[in-house]
């Protein structure tokens, strides 16, 4: 299907009308960002343990000397054979940002409930460099509402994305991102979390596709996405000889 074809003058008129909407969306995003920064914080008093390549660490240790910590709740359960394709798609975009984040006082860490050896194997397969630790045996994933036990999924509702939802719409693992701050006294505060499509803006490929003629060209949310080593060979460009 092809869009309506018009003159350059008609296109320019339509483009200027859309530009007004784009500027409105930018101003709204700026406003939402300001409100996000103004959210109240919650002090984290519970001790959480994580297994890392350097041994056991606390939540405070994960800051790695910085005052800000972003944790990506990566869907890789203890009995999963591979990481979630959608989480993998997002994390394909992280390594290039690490240097910039670290030099702006932000540490990025992925956390999954899978044991560390399973995390290490999948991380090696994907070729990633960002820190990734295991919360296996910890309440962390459950307290931040991204992991659900069989008992949770047997209930009438599970709590995800700040809303009770039917367990049929859930899974044992779900995605999200959480932000934390550590002050000079070593106190840790939970400042923000976002779930479902909330972290979508972190996926630069989607933002690029939104500018392409066919957009995301999907039948369902990111249903075209594969792990980056699972795509079939790209189709050849059309030839004038065929």
- Distance (Å, whole) CA 109 – CA 91: 11
pLDDT of residue 240 exceeding 90? no
pLDDT at 233: 76
Q: Which has the minimum average pLDDT: 56-65, 95-104, 224-233?
A: 224-233
Sign of the alpha-carbon dihedral angle for 22, 23, 24, 29: positive
Distance between CA atoms of 114 and 176, rounded to whole angstroms?
A: 16
| For residue 120, pLDDT beyond 50 | yes
How is residue 10 annotated by DSSP?
A: H
What was the pLDDT predicted at 236?
A: 57
Residue 1 pLDDT: 74
φ and ψ at 60, to 5 degrees?
Answer: -60, -35
* 35, 99, 186, 215, 230 from 174: Cα distances, Å: 25, 27, 30, 26, 22
Q: Is 127 exposed, middle or buried (0-12, 13-18, 19+ CB in 10 A)?
A: exposed
For 56, the enclosing helix (H) or strand (E) is: strand 55-58
Residue appearing with tokens 């050849």:
236
In the chain, alpha helices (H): 8-37, 85-91, 95-102, 116-126, 140-143, 150-153, 204-209
Count of CA atoms in the C-beta half-sphere (13 A) of 174: 26
Asked whether the predicted pLDDT for residue 242 surpasses 80, the reply is no
Structure letter (DSSP) for residue 75:
-
Give the model's pLDDT for residue 237.
53
Predicted confidence at residue 138, as pLDDT, reads: 96
Helix (H, G, I), strand (E, B) or coil at 192: strand
| 108-119 pLDDT per residue, tens | 999 999 999 999
Q: Which pLDDT value is given to residue 47?
A: 95
Q: Is the pLDDT of residue 89 over 60?
A: yes
For range 97-121, the mean pLDDT: 98
Burial 38-69 (b: 16+ CB within 10 A, else e): eeeeeebeeebbbbbeeeebebeebbeeeebb
What does the mean pLDDT of the chain come to?
95
Reported as a pLDDT band with limits 50, 70 and 90, residue 234 is: low
pLDDT of 146 strictly over 90? yes
* pLDDT tens per residue across span 178-187: 999 999 999 9
pTM value is: 0.92
Do the bridges between strand 42-43 and strand 188-195 make them parallel or antiparallel, or are there none, so unpaired? antiparallel
Q: Which of 95, 106, 109, 185 is nearest to 140 (CA)?
A: 109
Supply φ then ψ for residue 96, to 5 degrees.
Answer: -65, -20
């Amino acid at each position: 299907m092809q869009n309506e074809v018009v003159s350059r003058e008609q296109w320019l008129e339509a483009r200027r009308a859309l530009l007004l909407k784009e500027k409105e969306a930018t101003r709204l995003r700026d406003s939402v960002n300001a409100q996000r920064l103004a959210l109240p914080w919650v002090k984290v008093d519970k001790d959480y343990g994580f297994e890392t390549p350097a041994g056991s660490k606390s939540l405070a240790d994960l800051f790695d000397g910085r005052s800000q910590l972003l944790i990506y709740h990566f869907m890789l359960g203890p009995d999963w054979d591979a990481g979630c394709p959608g989480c993998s798609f997002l994390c394909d975009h992280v390594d290039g940002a690490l240097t910039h984040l670290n030099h702006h006082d932000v540490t990025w860490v992925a956390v999954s409930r899978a044991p560390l050896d399973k995390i290490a194997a999948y991380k090696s397969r994907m070729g990633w460099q960002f820190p990734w630790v295991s919360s296996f045996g910890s309440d962390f994933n459950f307290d931040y509402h991204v992991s659900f036990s069989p008992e949770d999924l047997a209930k009438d509702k599970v709590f995800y994305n700040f809303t009770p939802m039917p367990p049929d719409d859930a899974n044992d693992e779900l995605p999200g991102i959480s932000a934390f701050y550590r002050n000079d006294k070593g106190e840790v505060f939970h400042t923000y979390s976002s779930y479902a499509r909330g972290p979508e803006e972190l996926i630069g490929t989607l933002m690029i596709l939104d500018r392409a003629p066919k957009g995301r060209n999907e039948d369902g949310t990111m249903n075209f996405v594969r792990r980056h080593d699972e795509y079939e060979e790209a189709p050849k460009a059309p030839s004038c000889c065929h």
